[in-house]
Chains A and B, each alone.
Chain A
């Protein structure tokens, strides 16, 4: 598609439950990025993919968080055993490459609320 699509728009989970978020990058874009925006508007980079391969996972919490980008499927970000501090808006972005002026285009985000 022409836009980055993210589902669901809102997700509410009880503490300890699993949360799974999805992202469909713009068609033809090889790179996918996940960011977490917490209450004070701070963006934190989580992980990036080049096609189905992890490109950079330096921001990914070691525990409970995992992500995948499989061929012919939306990318996913999964949080096992959610905690209150996981409440945030999770943004996905995609780009054609990491060269030149290729910029990242952002999806509308998924708001995760952990109660």
Chain B
């Protein structure tokens, strides 16, 4: 099965860029996702990338995929206090089961 690992915590200042990193083990993952979880809430899909892509940009979000190193990153430009949340990296296997990393808590300081 898939193992997905993320750093636990990231702190940035408002207006700076945030980069959240993720490594995964299963090279057969077809899609990789970033979800956001705010306190007491469910998971909100932010963006996804297909495994044959290197990069995907969606407004303030940029996803970079290094398939050789099995490394995925999420860059948030111009980070706002409303971006404070836990961010989960996830891979999807052939059965559509998602495997999640432990989440990175992003704290944005004013």
Contacts and interface: CB of A to CB of B under 8 A. Distances in A.
Nearest to A45: B97
Contacts of A42: 100, 102
Interface residues on A, range: 20 to 34
B100 A108 contact: no
B96 A95 contact: yes
Contacts of B41: 108-109
Interface residues of B, number: 20
B24 interface: no
Interface string B42-59: 111100101000000000
B71 to A, nearest CB: 20
B95 A55 contact: yes
Nearest to B43: A106
B1 to A, nearest CB: 9
- With most chain B CB atoms within 10 A of its CB, the pick from A31, A59, A93 is A93
Contacts of A40: 102
A107 B96 contact: no
Contacts of B31: 101, 103
Nearest to A50: B96
Contacts of A35: 98
Given A91-B43, A105-B45, 9 more contacts: A31-B96, A33-B96, A41-B103, A42-B102, A56-B96, A56-B97, A98-B96, A106-B45, A107-B42
21 contacts: A33-B98, A35-B98, A41-B86, A41-B102, A41-B103, A43-B100, A45-B98, A48-B97, A55-B95, A55-B96, A91-B43, A95-B96, A98-B95, A101-B31, A101-B50, A103-B33, A103-B45, A103-B48, A104-B45, A104-B98, A108-B41
